[in-house]
């Protein structure tokens, strides 16, 4: 690789960035800084932003050597531009929401730390001891944001305070003490003291958020059209027409809702979707016992998907044939998520399920489609394929670049693909897919509607003519989708703190389906879905505005 190539300069940026962000280093499997934590003080956040701006200026001046570098330059440029705009708008220093913020990444990094040798346990202890200082730096960022008028809404502050209290062990055992069940006896005292330190740091963070930051936080949740468009570009890599997206989502919602009624009627004549879901939840044939039973069921579905898709609709090298299914530790927002493999596949891709650990059994009729979303052919194939293709994708493309509209859109496309391939052929599995689909479509409506405070149109059967509010958002989710109330309440909090992210799923799926239909139209009877999927995944992450054009170039 030439030293003056696009790939070389972008790889240099990744090296320098990871050197300033030990948490990200652990996430991508970079060794050497696992005892350290990322500095989220205003000065450090600014230093990382300036690093990106310098790299962007230099990459803009480099002439790509080939088609792979042309795509790499376009992706890096688009991502660094939006990152710079977000920083300049004051959206990065002091960021806080219920699902992805410095407060969360400093806790979640411990999920990824190995704990087998005494040295690894000692490293874990050192990182726990570093938490008080790291959270002080987070507080410095939150204070600067407050002075600039950029404090997150009080809803986000209060909810994150509650999460911090859970992790600290308020009312029970702390998350950090829970890590020590298999600790070596020789390090028991050191590790116990470190866990006390870490738990105390999160208890202090909870107190700070409630008592000092919450009084400064605005009560209004809506961010307005200008901020929303900025965040929407971050999550989609596209300049969306929000009015068009809102109107389309109402049409899509009505289509899916009608099919759900039809499927529910096959489960029990005359049953509503809610009644059919109640029947399926109660049916022991569709339940598993405990978190161990859930993990085993998820692994089985995942392994079967990998085996059935290999060499049929996808080309899967051996490195991609392992996907670990795990239950996430308690305390976080409920849901499922995926973490990609390290660059050498020494740590495989993993699918995590965040559930209520006190629940004795779990209904799983909805969850096959989510396995396909988070695992195969969803996020695992997309992310791990990018990691595998180090010959054509630089480290930024493989490790640091995730565009939600592209990635989550692919994962929804993967769910629909599995329906087309017959993997969701029973009525209960189909209702699970439709439940997921209507949920993602409702998120487009609620997210855009609440943040832009739009009017609810006539003919929708829901508070027609009123303007969206958080209260109406929760009511819509609980009455027009099939999720549990507590989970949906968490979801609405997520939308309000992460504007533009939730719609990226369904709008991304729309872009992927359109790209496939365009490729099919161009190829006619010679259309090859395996070739389409191969090229789509080999592209690596790319914004939705560029996705269709790039696929059209090569298919």
Q: What is the pLDDT of residue 238?
A: 96
Q: What is the pLDDT of residue 358?
A: 86
Q: Quick one: 207 and 330 in the same domain?
A: no
| 209 found inside a domain | yes
Q: Quick one: 199 and 292 in the same domain?
A: no
Q: What is the pLDDT of residue 2?
A: 57
Inter-residue contact 52 to 13 (CB < 8 Å): yes
Q: Quick one: 360 and 409 in the same domain?
A: yes
Q: Which candidate, 319, 374, 370, places its Cα nearest to that of 348?
A: 319
Inter-residue contact 209 to 161 (CB < 8 Å): yes
Q: Which two tokens stand for residue 340?
A: 């990609």
Q: What is the pLDDT of residue 3?
A: 67
In the chain, % of residues over pLDDT 70: 99
Q: Quick one: 203 and 290 in the same domain?
A: no
Please tell me the distance from the alpha carbon of residue 151 to that of residue 130, in angstroms, as a whole number. 25
Q: How far is CA 24 from CA 17, 33, 446, in A?
A: 9, 10, 31
Does the structure show a pLDDT above 60 at 76? yes
Eight-state DSSP code of residue 353: E
Q: How far is CA 445 from CA 433, 466, 484, 510, in A?
A: 19, 14, 19, 15
Q: Quick one: 302 and 170 in the same domain?
A: no
Q: Which two tokens stand for residue 29?
A: 């499997």
pLDDT per residue as tens digits for the range 220-239? 999 999 999 999 999 999 99
Please state, rounded to an integer, the average pLDDT across all residues of the chain. 95
| 518 found inside a domain | no
pLDDT per residue as tens digits for the range 384-396? 999 999 989 999 9
Q: Where are the alpha helices (DSSP H) in 395-502?
A: 395, 404-420, 427-452, 470-480, 485-497
Confidence grade of residue 356 (pLDDT, cut at 50, 70, 90): confident
Please tell me the distance from the alpha carbon of residue 41 to that of residue 49, in angstroms, as a whole number. 12
The domain boundary residue, chosen from 163, 186, 220: 220
pLDDT per residue as tens digits for the range 112-151? 999 999 999 999 999 999 999 999 999 999 999 999 999 9
| Positive or negative torsion for Cα 173, 176, 182, 184 | negative
Inter-residue contact 429 to 43 (CB < 8 Å): no
Q: Quick one: 151 and 262 in the same domain?
A: no
Confidence grade of residue 331 (pLDDT, cut at 50, 70, 90): low
Q: Which two tokens stand for residue 426?
A: 């029973």
Backbone angles phi and psi of 459, in degrees to 5: 90, 0
Q: What is the pLDDT of residue 134?
A: 98
Q: How far is CA 126 from CA 61, 131, 136, in A?
A: 42, 9, 17
Does the structure show a pLDDT above 90 at 555? no
User: CB under 8 Å to 336, separation ≥6 — which residues?
Assistant: 351, 352, 353, 354, 370, 373, 374
Please tell me the distance from the alpha carbon of residue 502 to that of residue 490, in angstroms, as a whole number. 13
3-class SS letters over 111-153 = HHCCCCCHHHHHHHHHHHHCHHHHHHHHHHHHHHHHHCCCCCC
| 541 found inside a domain | no
| 512 found inside a domain | no
Eight-state DSSP code of residue 349: E
- 372's enclosing H/E stretch is helix 368-374
Q: Quick one: 50 and 73 in the same domain?
A: yes
Averaged over 72-96, what is the pLDDT? 97
Least confident of 184-198, 280-294, 336-350, 451-465: 336-350
Eight-state DSSP code of residue 336: E
Does the structure show a pLDDT above 80 at 332? no
| 474 found inside a domain | yes
Q: What is the pLDDT of residue 445?
A: 98
Confidence grade of residue 436 (pLDDT, cut at 50, 70, 90): very high
Q: What is the pLDDT of residue 333?
A: 62
Between CA 47 and CA 52, with CA 50 as vertex, the angle to 5 degrees is 115
Between CA 549 and CA 243, with CA 88 as vertex, the angle to 5 degrees is 50
| 166 found inside a domain | yes
Packing angle, helices 273-282 and 427-452, rounded to 10: 120
Q: What is the pLDDT of residue 135?
A: 98
Confidence grade of residue 96 (pLDDT, cut at 50, 70, 90): very high
| 522 found inside a domain | no
Does the structure show a pLDDT above 90 at 57? yes
pLDDT per residue as tens digits for the range 234-253? 999 999 999 999 999 999 99
Q: What is the pLDDT of residue 312?
A: 86
pLDDT per residue as tens digits for the range 372-384? 999 999 999 999 9
Q: Which two tokens stand for residue 75?
A: 């992706």
Inter-residue contact 477 to 446 (CB < 8 Å): yes
Q: What is the pLDDT of residue 552?
A: 84
Averaged over 294-311, what is the pLDDT? 94
| 546 found inside a domain | no
Q: 208 lies in which domain range? A: 6-220
Find the radius of gyration of the CA atoms of the chain: 23
Q: What is the pLDDT of residue 4?
A: 80
Phi-psi region of 462 (alpha: psi -120 to 50; beta: other; left: phi over 0): beta
pLDDT per residue as tens digits for the range 250-297? 999 999 999 999 999 999 999 999 999 999 999 999 999 999 999 999
Number of domains forming the structure of the chain: 2
Q: Quick one: 206 and 315 in the same domain?
A: no
Q: Quick one: 248 and 187 in the same domain?
A: no
Q: Which candidate, 327, 285, 315, 221, places its Cα nearest to that of 528?
A: 315
Query: What counts of helices (H) and strands (E) characterise the chain?
Result: 24, 5
Does the structure show a pLDDT above 90 at 46? yes
Q: What is the pLDDT of residue 315?
A: 87
The domain boundary residue, chosen from 504, 523, 541: 504
Q: Quick one: 215 and 246 in the same domain?
A: no
Q: Which two tokens stand for residue 151?
A: 């404090």
In the chain, % of residues over pLDDT 90: 90
Q: What is the pLDDT of residue 329?
A: 80
Q: Quick one: 303 and 356 in the same domain?
A: yes
Q: What is the pLDDT of residue 398?
A: 93
Q: Quick one: 150 and 252 in the same domain?
A: no
């Amino acid at each position: 690789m030439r030293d003056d190539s696009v790939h070389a300069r972008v790889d240099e940026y990744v090296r320098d960035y990871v050197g300033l962000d030990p948490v990200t280093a652990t996430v991508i499997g970079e060794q050497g800084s696992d005892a350290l934590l990322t500095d989220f003080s205003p000065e450090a956040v600014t230093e990382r932003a300036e690093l990106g701006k310098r790299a962007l200026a230099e990459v803009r001046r480099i002439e790509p050597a080939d088609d792979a570098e042309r795509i790499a330059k376009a992706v890096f440029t688009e991502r660094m531009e939006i990152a710079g705009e977000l920083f300049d708008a004051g959206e990065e220093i002091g960021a806080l929401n219920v699902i992805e913020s410095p407060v969360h990444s400093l806790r979640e990094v411990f999920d990824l730390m190995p704990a087998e040798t005494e040295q690894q346990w000692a490293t874990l202890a050192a990182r726990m001891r570093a938490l008080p200082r790291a959270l002080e730096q987070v507080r410095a960022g939150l204070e600067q944001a407050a002075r600039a008028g950029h404090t997150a809404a009080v809803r986000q502050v209060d909810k994150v305070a509650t999460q911090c209290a859970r992790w600290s062990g308020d009312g029970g055992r702390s998350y950090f003490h829970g890590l020590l069940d298999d600790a070596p006896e020789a390090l028991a005292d050191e590790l116990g003291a470190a866990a006390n330190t870490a738990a105390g740091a999160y208890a202090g963070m909870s107190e700070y958020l409630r008592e000092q930051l919450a009084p400064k936080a605005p009560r209004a949740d809506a961010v307005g059209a200008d901020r929303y468009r900025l965040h929407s570009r971050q999550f989609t890599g596209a300049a969306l027409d929000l009015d068009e997206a809102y109107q389309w989502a109402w049409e899509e919602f009505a289509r899916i809702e009608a099919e759900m009624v039809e499927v529910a009627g096959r489960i029990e004549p005359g049953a509503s979707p809610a009644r059919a879901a109640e029947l399926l939840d109660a049916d022991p044939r569709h339940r598993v016992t405990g978190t161990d039973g859930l993990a085993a069921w998820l692994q089985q579905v995942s392994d079967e998907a990998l085996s059935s898709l290999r060499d049929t609709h996808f080309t899967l090298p051996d490195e991609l044939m392992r996907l670990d299914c795990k239950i996430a530790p308690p305390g976080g927002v409920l849901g499922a998520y995926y973490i990609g493999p390290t660059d050498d596949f020494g740590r495989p891709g993993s699918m995590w399920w965040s559930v209520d650990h006190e629940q004795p059994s779990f209904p799983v009729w909805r969850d096959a489609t989510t396995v396909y979303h988070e695992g195969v052919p969803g996020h695992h194939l997309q992310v791990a394929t990018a990691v595998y293709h180090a010959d054509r994708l630089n480290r930024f493309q493989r490790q640091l670049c995730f565009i939600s509209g592209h990635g989550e859109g692919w994962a929804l496309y993967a769910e629909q693909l599995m329906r087309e391939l017959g993997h969701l052929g029973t009525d209960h599995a189909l209702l699970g897919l439709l439940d997921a689909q209507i949920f993602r479509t409702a998120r487009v409506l609620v997210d855009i509607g609440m943040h832009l405070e739009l009017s609810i149109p006539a003919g929708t059967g829901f508070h027609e003519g009123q303007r969206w509010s958080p209260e109406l958002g929760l009511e819509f989710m609980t009455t027009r989708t099939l999720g549990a109330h507590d989970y949906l309440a968490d979801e609405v909090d997520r939308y309000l703190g992460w504007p533009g992210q939730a719609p990226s799923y369904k709008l991304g799926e729309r872009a992927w389906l359109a790209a496939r239909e365009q490729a099919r139209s161009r190829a006619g009877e010679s259309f090859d879905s395996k070739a389409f999927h191969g090229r789509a995944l080999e592209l690596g992450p790319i914004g939705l505005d560029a996705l269709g054009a790039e696929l059209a170039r090569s298919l």
